[in-house]
Chain A
Amino acid sequence: MRFGSNEYLQKVKEITNSDEKYEQMVKNEDATYTFIIEPEPEKGVKDGIVLGYSMKNGKMVDIWPGERETDFVISGSYGVWVDLVTGRMGVTSAFLQRKLRIRGEFSRILKLSKPTEYWIQLLRKIPTEFDGVYSKFNIGGES
C-alpha cells in the first residue's frame, strides 16, 4: 500500500494497537502528533503528506490525514521518512542531525525516543510502496 495513503494509515493504527509491548511503553504518554512529510519533486515525489494521530493510554485512538492542532509537529523531507521507515536512519539520529524538525516540548520527545524507535520497527511490518526514486526501497512487509 502506498506510504501515507488512507489505507496505510488504517494499517498503522491496526499494527500500533495490536502490539502490547508498545502499549506498555507509552501507556502514560498521552499526546497528539502531526507528521509533515515534504515533497521532493526532483526525486519524483510531487505531493507532500500531512497526517496526525493521537495516543491515549498506550493506544492510537485516532489517525487522520491533514493538519490539526497537536502537541508535537515533526517535519522532514520524504526521503528522510523513507530512511526512517526502512531503518536506514534512527529517529534520535535524525533529530540530532536536524533532518527532522520538531515543534513541541523537546524533553518529552527525548523521553519518547526509545518507544518511537520501536514503533518505527513495527511500521516495517506493513507492505509499503514509496513514490519516485524511493520506490526501490519498497517494503514487502510481514509475510
Chain B
Amino acid sequence: MTRITGGEVIKRVLEKEGVRYVFGVPGDQLYPLLNAIRGSSIEFITFHDEASAAHAADAYARVTGRIGVVIGTVGPGGANLVGGVYPAFAEGIPLLVITAQNQTFRSYPDHGSMQALDQYLLFKPITKWNAVVNSWGRIVELMERAVREALTGAPGPVHLDFPSDVLHATGDENEIKVHDPESYRPVLQTTASQELIEKAVKMILNSKNPVIHAGGGVLRSGAEKEVLELAEYLQIPVTTSISGRGTIPEDHPLCLIPQSFGAIAAQAEADLVILVGTKLGDLDFWGRPPIWGEEGIQKVIQIDISGGNIALNRHVDLGIVGDAKETLSAILKRIKSITGPVEKREKNQEYKTLERQWLSEYEEISTSDSIPIHPLRAIGEMRSFYPRDAISVIDGGNTTVWAHYINRIYCPRCFISSSAGDSGHIGTGVAYAIGAKIAYPEKDVYCITGDGAFGYGLMELETAKRLGLQITFMVLNDSSWGMIKSGQTLYYDKKYVGVDFLEIRYDEIARAMGCFGERVTDPKKLRDAIKRAKESGLPAVIDVKIDPEKIPPDFQTLASIWLEGCESPPRELEEMKKLQ
C-alpha cells in the first residue's frame, strides 16, 4: 500500500489532463503540492506576484487552447490572484485556479487565523464555478469537475480552495482512480440541429449584402478556417471583435479591420449579420445603430456556444447554440451542396476603400521622424520587424489605441491584450508575453506596452531571464498614465490630478536584472535597437521616449463609450473663451 498526499492526487489529475506547466507563487500550505510537482512531468513556474502568474497561465491558455493552471497560497496569495483571474473571467479563458486554505477545522468560518480569507466567496463572482475541497477522498472528483466546468460550454476560470490539512492528508493510492479526460468531460463539441442549419443557410443565401462578425469564441473553438472558407466561398466581408482579431489575416481582401470606417460601413449597411462567438459588447457598440443596422431591417444570425450570449445585446432573427467550428462547418457543407462560389460583391471594394482612407493617415504618421518619437512610429517599427506569425502582446491605455491602428494581426491566437479586451485590464503584458513564450518558445513574442502598464509586471523580467525567454518589450514611455492624462487634457483644461510619474529608465532596470536594455530617443535608431534586442537572446527592454502630447484620434469616441449616459465632462469656460 502506498500512501499519497492530497498534493500528489492533484498532480496526478493534472498529469492526466496533459498539463505541462503550473504557474504560481509558492506558500507554506502548498508544500505537498509543490513537492508532488517536483520531478514530475509538470514544471512549476514561479512568479513574483500571483496576479502575474495568473496572467501567464491565462496567456498560455489563450495561445494553446488548453487549460491554464495557477496556484497561490491562502490569504494574500488568494487576494493577489484576483487581479489575474478577473481578465480571464471577463474574456472567457479556461483557467484552473488552486488556492491553499487554512485547515478545515479553523476556516469557514475563520476565528482568528493568520492570513484567513473566505476565498470561496472572493472568487465566486470571477469564476464560472468554484468549490472548497474538504476531503482527500473528493479531490479527484472535484478536480475533474472543475476542469469540465472550465472547458465545457462557454469556457472560463474555475477555482478550488484546498484547506492545508487536505493537501497534507494521505490516503491509499488504490482508493482513488485518476481518469482519462474523455471519461469526465466532453472532448467533441456540439453542433446545431439540421433544422437550424437549414434556416441559417436559407438566410445567408437570400442575403444580398451579408457580413460575418467573428469574436473570441471563434478562436477558442478553432473555427478560423471555417470562417475564412465561408467568407471566401460567398465573398462575405469579415469584421471581428477586438478579442476575435486573428480570425482572418488583417491584410486579407475580405477582412475589415475592427472599428475602421470600412468595418463600420459594412456592419451598418449589411442586410444580414452572421455573428459568431461574440456577445456584442461595448467595443462593438452594443450592436446598435448607427454602427449596425436597425433591428427588424438588418437580420441577425447568432452562433454561440452559450445560450446565455444569444441576443444578450441585440435581438436576433436566428439564434444557434453550438460550437462555432462544428456549426460553421455544417453551414458551409450545406451551402456548397446548393450553390457554387460567389465571384464578387460590389460593396466589398467600397468598404476596403473606406478602410484604406481610415488607415492611410496612421500609416503616414508611422513614418514620422519627429522627436520626441511619435507612438505610431515606434509601434510601426516593431510590427514591421517581426514576422507575420509573431505573437503580439499589447498593454496599456493610449498604447493600446495607437497599436490598434497599425499593429496588424495576421494569424489566429497571435494577439493577446486584455487592455483591449472585455476586462480592459492594463498591466498584463509582461506576464502574458511570458506565458505565450513558454507555450511557443520557437515563436517570436513581442510586447508593446505603456510605461504605467509596464510597472505592474516589471519584476517578472527576472522570471523571463530565469527561464531564458527572449521576448522584446517596447515601453512607450511618456512618464505618465497617458490615457487618463489625455482625458484631463481634453476635458479638464490640463488640470492634472494623479497622472504623472518621475522620469524612469526602464532600460537600466532591465540591465540590472541581467536583461538587455536600451533607450531610444531618435526614431531612426529604433530599427537597429529592436534588432540588437532580439539578437541579445535575452529578455529585452527598449525604452522609447515618446511624445507625451500625442492623443489618439479615437480617444474621444472611446471616452464616450465608457462614460455613456454621464454628463459631458465640462470643458472649462476659459477654454471656450479662447474661441471668442
Residues of A within 8 A of B (CB): 83, 86-90, 92-93, 95-98, 101-102, 105-107, 110-111, 113-114, 124, 136-140
Q: Are B291 and A96 neighbours in the complex by a CB distance under 8 Å?
A: yes
A50 to chain B, nearest CB (A): 21
B557 partner residues in chain A, CB cutoff 8 A: 90, 92-93, 96-97
Cβ < 8 Å to A, chain B residues 278-310 = 285, 288-291
**Chain B residues numbered 305-328 whose CB sits less than 8 Å from any CB in chain A:** none
| Residues 245-291 of B contacting A (Cβ, < 8 Å) | 261, 264-265, 268-269, 285, 288-291
Q: Known: A97-B560, A98-B290. Contact between A83 and B576, CB under 8 A?
A: no
Q: How far is the CA of A114 from the CA of B291 in the complex (A)?
A: 17
B494 within 8 A of A: no
B 64-79 binary contact with A (CB < 8 Å = 1; else 0): 0000000000000000
Residues of B within 8 A of A (CB): 261, 264-265, 268-269, 285, 288-291, 347, 350-351, 353-354, 357, 556-557, 560-561, 564, 568, 571, 573, 576, 579-580
Closest B residue, CB atoms, query A80 = B568
B579 near A106: Cβ-Cβ < 8 Å:
no
Cα A137 to Cα B570 with chains together (Å):
12
A114 vs B573: C-alpha distance when bound (angstroms): 27
Question: Chain A nearest CB: distance from B560 CB in Å?
Answer: 5
The 7 closest A-B pairs by CB, nearest first: A107-B265, A140-B580, A110-B261, A106-B268, A97-B560, A93-B557, A93-B556
B554 to A: closest C-beta gap in Å: 8
CB of A92, distance to nearest CB on chain B (Å): 7
Q: Which of A87, A93, A113, A140 interacts with B560 by CB under 8 Å?
A: A93
**Residues of chain B with a CB closer than 8 A to A107's CB:** 261, 265, 268-269, 347, 350-351, 354
Could you give 29 example pairs across A and B, Cβ below 8 Å? Answer: A86-B579, A87-B579, A88-B571, A89-B568, A93-B556, A95-B290, A96-B291, A96-B557, A97-B560, A97-B564, A98-B288, A102-B290, A105-B269, A106-B265, A106-B268, A106-B290, A107-B261, A107-B347, A107-B350, A107-B354, A110-B261, A110-B265, A111-B354, A114-B357, A124-B579, A137-B576, A139-B579, A140-B579, A140-B580
Assembled-state Cα–Cα distance A95/B353 (Å)? 20
- Inter-chain CA distance A114–B357, complex, in Å, is 10
Q: Which B residues lie within 8 Å of A113 (CB)?
A: 261
Known: A96-B264, A96-B290, A107-B354. 16 other contacts (CB 8 A): A86-B576, A87-B579, A95-B290, A96-B291, A97-B560, A98-B288, A98-B289, A98-B290, A106-B264, A107-B261, A107-B351, A113-B261, A114-B357, A124-B579, A139-B579, A140-B579
Contact between chains at B571 and A111 (CB < 8 Å): no
- What are the residues of chain A within 8 A of B264 when measuring CB–CB? 96, 106, 110
The interface residues of chain B lying within 8 Å CB-to-CB of A114 are 357
> How far, in angstroms, from A38 to B209 measured CA to CA in the complex?
34
Interface pair A106/B269, CB less than 8 Å apart: yes
For B573, what are the chain A residues with a Cβ–Cβ distance below 8 Å? 136
Complex CA–CA separation, A121 to B265 (angstroms)? 25
Residues in B with CB closer than 8 Å to A140 are 579-580
Find chain A residues with CB under 8 A from B561 CB. Answer: 97
Bound: A59/B288 CA distance, A: 34
**Would you call A138 and B580 a contact (CB within 8 A)?**
yes
Which of B285, B290, B291, B351 sits near A101, CB closer than 8 Å?
Answer: B290
- Residues on the B chain within 8 Å of A92, using CB: 557
Residues of B within 8 A of A102 (CB): 290
Complex CA gap A83/B560 in Å reads 14
For A86, list chain B residues within 8 Å (CB).
576, 579
* Closest chain A CB from B580 CB (angstroms): 4
Q: How far is the CA of A107 from the CA of B560 in the complex (A)?
A: 22
Residue of B nearest to A97 (CB): B560
Q: Which residues of B contact A97 (CB under 8 A)?
A: 557, 560-561, 564
**Interchain CB contact under 8 A, A111 and B261:** yes
User: Which residues of A are found within 8 Å of B568, using beta-carbon distances?
Assistant: 83, 88-89
> Nearest-CB distance from A66 to chain B (Å)?
25
Q: Please, which residues of chain B bring their CB within 8 A of the CB of A88?
A: 568, 571
> Which residues on B sit within 8 Å (CB–CB) of A111?
261, 353-354, 357
Known contacts A88-B568, A136-B573, A137-B576; is-contact A110 B560 (Cβ 8 Å):
no
Question: What's the minimum C-beta distance from A121 to chain B, rounded to whole angstroms?
Answer: 11
Closest chain B CB from A72 CB (angstroms): 12
* A110 contacts B354, C-beta separation under 8 Å: yes
Complex interface: chain A residues within 8 A of B261 (CB): 107, 110-111, 113
Contacts of B268 in A (CB 8 A): 106-107
Measured CA separation A92–B557 after assembly (Å):
8
A124 CA to B354 CA, complexed, in Å:
28
Chain A contacts of B564 at CB under 8 A? 97
Which of chain B's residues have a CB closer than 8 A to the CB of A110?
261, 264-265, 354
A89 touches B556 (CB 8 A): yes
How far apart sit A138 and B576, CA to CA, in the bound complex (Å)? 8
- The answer to whether A139 and B290 have CB atoms under 8 Å apart is no
**Minimum Cβ distance to chain B for residue A38 (Å):** 17
A97–B265 Cα distance when bound, in Å, is: 15
What A residues does B288 contact at CB under 8 A? 98
Which A residue's beta carbon lies closest to that of B573? A136
* Docked complex Cα distance between A106 and B288 (Å): 14
CA distance A101 to B265 in the complex (A): 15
A70–B557 CA distance with the chains assembled, in angstroms? 28
- The distance in angstroms between the C-alpha atoms of A75 and B386, with both chains bound, is 46
Which of B268, B350, B357, B580 gathers the greatest number of chain A CB atoms within 10 Å? B580
Specify which chain B residues have a CB less than 8 angstroms from the CB of A89 in the assembled complex.
556, 568
Q: Which residue of A lies closest to B285 (CB)?
A: A96
Inter-chain contacts of B351 with A (CB < 8 A): 107
Q: A124 contacts which chain B residues (CB < 8 A)?
A: 579
